[in-house]
Chain A
């Protein structure tokens, strides 16, 4: 118990402050982690309600609920909010909560910056969401904001969108610096790099990716800002600029970005599957190398998003081969997870259900990714619903199920109570059914020829769109159940022991539940 601070004598100046200032001024990693997670879930519901508008409009052919202008604003804002507001902050929240407790550190290395990087986020999203109420409406050019649609032809609110992106970029970079500084400097004595928990490893690599690519995003939006307001022509062909340059720069950010959204989930699942298999993770070292390989390859595959823009054949072949190569380390990870389960002693509590669904459904998303990597076939898949199906399969059951699995896994540690297992399983099964019903038919729609980002469609696409909308409504409504489960768990429930999961490993489980406000003020010894 030496790991826990002797709160008896220090209570008067070490407990949390009272009232709103506790949250506004906090430098405590647990408080900041909680704020990130609450913010992320709020954005998840907001972005999700936009998805509901999209699916309601697509329920039937014809324009019923919204006009095409507003439909385009919904698809754009849904994408931006889910990527930058829901998924990324959720992982930063998990990192804040878990990394110090996993490596035996008292807090994050840079606590004041930690506070700032969180509080920038609500500001950025206030600006972004306020564009919905501006003259000319919110950004309507898709989350990829291709020039010149977003520059010469963009609505007046585009400048606010650029400012919002800049602020969230600063927040992400500071978050990443903090993670790296913490992991490299504050590990408990004896915890060498190759003894680090995988969630820590994946976050370390993610943080380097963030530092590498967020400035590129900032660069591309700054060039847009100049084109719109200061008369430059970076992306304007009539002024000697190049619209394709935009896509190269954007996807140089955009492709590592998709791994930023999935690698921490890989890490979390690599904790959960061994815990509920009651067996150590298979191939720890190869897992680390695979994540490193995926991260490196992510820098040399960006043009696979651009197979139809007319890049030369040599480029086309290079990006096709490089993209196919990613299947190798990704495959290694999947094989390792399956081998971990093999001949284990399995039980299926809610975190395990989400983790197993993660492996299966992410692999399906990986298969469609492999199909998309084949450049000639991509000419038929590109910008159709097949792509929509693909990235929702890697992001919803990938990133989001990974986050849910982590939340259920660590909720007892955070709150000191067990969540309601029956409700948790209900949440899982409804999410699982809703998600597959929503996204699996999109493969068929894309192969039948339905382009993405259209508010209305030809009649042969009617049936699967209706099925997909029903699935989306199911999935969306189910997420309110998660809110209820978490609130219920915070307010009470069966008391959680220090280590609620029989097979769980790691320093966080040596702490009592709920984890005290300050932990590991004296570093533990790792053998």
Chain B
């Protein structure tokens, strides 16, 4: 009884005061931390105030009529119904205002499109439902996934401060450098948006869109995917950490070393237990969004893996589907997304998890051989 009462109380409290302490009543756009975002902010404010001024005049006249020219006050209607001078004036004046507004807008736009002379080049690839960041100058890259636990989303746990705006691996960029983003997609259209940078660019399969940012202040900046991209569209945030140049340089050399180490792992002799353990982690970050954490899938779009003809069929067929994807379906080609080790691990895991007791395994070396055959 008391438990029920407590639950009811908590539910009521939750309904009345939803995360009250963390919510804020923000009314306006924030200026941001790049030159472009500041330019956009001042354009936004200029246009807003022009609209307010026009609104005050137009609605002012209207409300004056509403109060002063009422029939109930005995006001008699005039009969005028045209006035050429007035009509020409209120066509020309708005036109002039528009021209005045277009000038700074054009200048800002030209600046936004100037992606030349960049210091750092980062390729951003949208996937359902995560981002891949590749540092094309330094030859390493990684995926960035939502880090909010599912229990917070389904309200079984209190929500954290950065609920839905937190990732496992943020994008790291140096401050004070011109960073060029090359934005594309692997499947459907996504859109990469960091409000504080004033950067929003659609990630479109078959296109590489360019945009840029020069971050003035170190800090952590958060954004989200802004183009509907399927069921987890609301769950693929963007987190960018801007750090001073020396820190950035140190981080880059660490990443390069780690990438090298990862490549060496392929040559190691793996046991089945090791592969299954690693495979479970890979599965949860890469596959679970569609095939579900327990392998049950959500048919018909995303088939179950429990007892599936692929996961319990011939090994070669399983490798082929994971490596090359299934044309015309949502199943992507993971051959280029995952390392040999992760591919071997996740395939081994799928063949031996949830009662799919196939008892066989595939090693990273075998995957590497398969990769060579494919080329």
A285 to B14, CA, bound (A): 58
Interface pick from B103-111, B170-178, B243-251, B262-270: B103-111
Asked if B300 lies at the interface with its beta carbon under 8 angstroms from chain A, I say yes
What residues of chain B lie closer than 8 Å to A278, measured between beta carbons? 71, 77
Interface pick from A186-194, A368-376, A471-479: A368-376
A330-345 with Cβ < 8 A to chain B: 331-332, 334-335, 338-345
Taken residue by residue from 72 to 86, chain B's Cβ proximity to chain A (1 for < 8 Å, 0 otherwise) reads as 100111111110001
Are B78 and A343 within 8 A (Cβ)?
yes
Please tell me which one of the listed residues A156, A237, A364, A447 contacts residue B27 in the complex, with CB atoms under 8 A apart. A447
Asked if A96 lies at the interface with its beta carbon under 8 angstroms from chain B, I say no
Asked if A120 lies at the interface with its beta carbon under 8 angstroms from chain B, I say no
Asked if A68 lies at the interface with its beta carbon under 8 angstroms from chain B, I say yes
Are B155 and A308 within 8 A (Cβ)?
no
Interface pick from A80-88, A145-153, A204-212: A145-153
In the complex with contacts A376-B40, A448-B26, A346-B204 CB distance below 8 A: no
What residues of chain A lie closer than 8 Å to B80, measured between beta carbons? 282, 343
In the complex with contacts A62-B152, A278-B77, A334-B58, A454-B231 CB distance below 8 A: no
Are B154 and A238 within 8 A (Cβ)?
no
Q: Name which residue of chain A comes closest to B210, CB basis.
A: A310
Are B226 and A384 within 8 A (Cβ)?
yes
Are A383 and B191 within 8 A (Cβ)?
yes
Asked if B28 lies at the interface with its beta carbon under 8 angstroms from chain A, I say yes
Q: Name which residue of chain A comes closest to B32, CB basis.
A: A380
Are A342 and B61 within 8 A (Cβ)?
yes
Taken residue by residue from 54 to 72, chain A's Cβ proximity to chain B (1 for < 8 Å, 0 otherwise) reads as 0000001111100111001
What residues of chain A lie closer than 8 Å to B128, measured between beta carbons? 153
Q: Name which residue of chain B comes closest to A237, CB basis.
A: B206
Could you give 16 example pairs across A and B, Cβ below 8 Å? A63-B154, A63-B155, A136-B301, A146-B189, A156-B300, A282-B82, A324-B98, A331-B90, A342-B61, A344-B69, A345-B70, A380-B37, A380-B40, A448-B27, A451-B226, A460-B22
Taken residue by residue from 130 to 160, chain A's Cβ proximity to chain B (1 for < 8 Å, 0 otherwise) reads as 0000011000111000101100110110000
In the complex with contacts A380-B195, A451-B225, A346-B81 CB distance below 8 A: no
Are B228 and A453 within 8 A (Cβ)?
yes
Asked if B3 lies at the interface with its beta carbon under 8 angstroms from chain A, I say no
What residues of chain A lie closer than 8 Å to B301, measured between beta carbons? 136, 155
Taken residue by residue from 273 to 295, chain A's Cβ proximity to chain B (1 for < 8 Å, 0 otherwise) reads as 00001111111111000000000
Q: For chain A, which range describes its interface: under 10, 10 to 19, 20 to 34, or 35 or more residues?
A: 35 or more
In the complex with contacts A346-B75, A456-B153, A460-B23, A379-B61 CB distance below 8 A: no
Are A455 and B28 within 8 A (Cβ)?
no
What residues of chain B lie closer than 8 Å to A156, measured between beta carbons? 300
Please tell me which one of the listed residues B81, B102, B209 contacts residue A320 in the complex, with CB atoms under 8 A apart. B102
What residues of chain B lie closer than 8 Å to A451, measured between beta carbons? 193, 224-226, 234
In the complex with contacts A149-B188, A149-B228, A370-B51, A328-B94 CB distance below 8 A: yes
Please tell me which one of the listed residues B59, B76, B101, B189 contacts residue A324 in the complex, with CB atoms under 8 A apart. B101
Asked if B220 lies at the interface with its beta carbon under 8 angstroms from chain A, I say no
**Given A280-B81, A338-B62, 20 more contacts at CB 8 Å?**
A60-B18, A64-B155, A146-B188, A283-B82, A310-B202, A310-B209, A313-B109, A320-B109, A324-B102, A331-B91, A332-B90, A343-B77, A344-B65, A375-B105, A383-B193, A447-B28, A459-B159, A459-B163, A460-B26, A463-B23
A114-139 with Cβ < 8 A to chain B: 135-136
What residues of chain A lie closer than 8 Å to B90, measured between beta carbons? 331-332, 335
Are A346 and B66 within 8 A (Cβ)?
yes
Asked if B39 lies at the interface with its beta carbon under 8 angstroms from chain A, I say yes
Instruction: Determine which residue in B14, B37, B71, B209 has the highest number of CB atoms from chain A within 10 A of its CB, and name it.
Output: B71
A61 to B108, CA, bound (A): 36
Asked if A363 lies at the interface with its beta carbon under 8 angstroms from chain B, I say yes
A399 to B59, CA, bound (A): 20
In the complex with contacts A148-B187, A282-B80, A463-B23, A377-B47 CB distance below 8 A: yes
A391 to chain B, nearest CB (A): 15
In the complex with contacts A68-B232, A283-B87, A341-B66, A380-B25 CB distance below 8 A: no
In the complex with contacts A148-B187, A370-B51, A327-B98 CB distance below 8 A: yes
What residues of chain A lie closer than 8 Å to B298, measured between beta carbons? 69
What residues of chain B lie closer than 8 Å to A377, measured between beta carbons? 40, 43-44, 47, 105
Asked if B24 lies at the interface with its beta carbon under 8 angstroms from chain A, I say yes
A323 to chain B, nearest CB (A): 10
Asked if A243 lies at the interface with its beta carbon under 8 angstroms from chain B, I say yes
In the complex with contacts A345-B71, A359-B62, A140-B231 CB distance below 8 A: yes
What residues of chain B lie closer than 8 Å to A374, measured between beta carbons? 43-44, 47, 101, 105
Are B165 and A309 within 8 A (Cβ)?
no
Are A332 and B200 within 8 A (Cβ)?
no
Are B224 and A454 within 8 A (Cβ)?
yes
Q: Which 10 A-B residue pairings sit nearest by Cβ, starting from the closest? A: A237-B206, A454-B234, A310-B209, A345-B77, A367-B51, A383-B226, A376-B108, A448-B26, A280-B81, A462-B23
Asked if A232 lies at the interface with its beta carbon under 8 angstroms from chain B, I say no
Are B202 and A309 within 8 A (Cβ)?
yes
Asked if B8 lies at the interface with its beta carbon under 8 angstroms from chain A, I say no
A329 to B204, CA, bound (A): 35
Taken residue by residue from 148 to 173, chain B's Cβ proximity to chain A (1 for < 8 Å, 0 otherwise) reads as 00001111000101111100000000
Please tell me which one of the listed residues A335, A363, A456 contacts residue B164 in the complex, with CB atoms under 8 A apart. A456
What residues of chain A lie closer than 8 Å to B136, measured between beta carbons? none
Asked if A2 lies at the interface with its beta carbon under 8 angstroms from chain B, I say no
Asked if A163 lies at the interface with its beta carbon under 8 angstroms from chain B, I say no
Are A370 and B47 within 8 A (Cβ)?
yes
Q: Name which residue of chain A comes closest to B229, CB basis.
A: A149
Taken residue by residue from 240 to 258, chain B's Cβ proximity to chain A (1 for < 8 Å, 0 otherwise) reads as 0000000000000000000
What residues of chain A lie closer than 8 Å to B26, measured between beta carbons? 444, 447-448, 460
Q: Name which residue of chain B comes closest to A444, CB basis.
A: B27
Are B202 and A375 within 8 A (Cβ)?
no
A234 to B330, CA, bound (A): 18
Are A458 and B165 within 8 A (Cβ)?
yes
Please tell me which one of the listed residues B79, B94, B225 contacts residue A331 in the complex, with CB atoms under 8 A apart. B94
Asked if B198 lies at the interface with its beta carbon under 8 angstroms from chain A, I say yes
A452 to B233, CA, bound (A): 10
Asked if A258 lies at the interface with its beta carbon under 8 angstroms from chain B, I say no
Are B205 and A243 within 8 A (Cβ)?
yes
A483 to B162, CA, bound (A): 45
Are A346 and B71 within 8 A (Cβ)?
yes
A284 to B188, CA, bound (A): 48
Instruction: Determine which residue in B24, B76, B101, B105 has the highest number of CB atoms from chain A within 10 A of its CB, and name it.
Output: B105
B328 to chain A, nearest CB (A): 6
B249-293 with Cβ < 8 A to chain A: none
Q: Name which residue of chain B comes closest to A144, CB basis.
A: B228
Are A148 and B188 within 8 A (Cβ)?
yes
Are B22 and A243 within 8 A (Cβ)?
no
Asked if A297 lies at the interface with its beta carbon under 8 angstroms from chain B, I say no
What residues of chain A lie closer than 8 Å to B162, measured between beta carbons? 458
A317 to B103, CA, bound (A): 11
Asked if B223 lies at the interface with its beta carbon under 8 angstroms from chain A, I say yes
Are A346 and B187 within 8 A (Cβ)?
no
Asked if A222 lies at the interface with its beta carbon under 8 angstroms from chain B, I say no
What residues of chain B lie closer than 8 Å to A384, measured between beta carbons? 226
Please tell me which one of the listed residues B77, B110, B226, B231 contacts residue A279 in the complex, with CB atoms under 8 A apart. B77
Asked if B207 lies at the interface with its beta carbon under 8 angstroms from chain A, I say yes
What residues of chain B lie closer than 8 Å to A466, measured between beta carbons? 18
Please tell me which one of the listed residues A310, A328, A342 contacts residue B98 in the complex, with CB atoms under 8 A apart. A328
Asked if B95 lies at the interface with its beta carbon under 8 angstroms from chain A, I say yes
A237 to B328, CA, bound (A): 12
A515 to chain B, nearest CB (A): 27
Asked if A464 lies at the interface with its beta carbon under 8 angstroms from chain B, I say yes
In the complex with contacts A341-B66, A363-B55, A455-B234, A284-B81 CB distance below 8 A: yes
Asked if B201 lies at the interface with its beta carbon under 8 angstroms from chain A, I say yes
Asked if A17 lies at the interface with its beta carbon under 8 angstroms from chain B, I say no
A453 to chain B, nearest CB (A): 5
Q: Name which residue of chain A comes closest to B94, CB basis.
A: A331
B178-234 with Cβ < 8 A to chain A: 187-189, 191, 193, 195, 198-202, 204-207, 209-210, 223-234
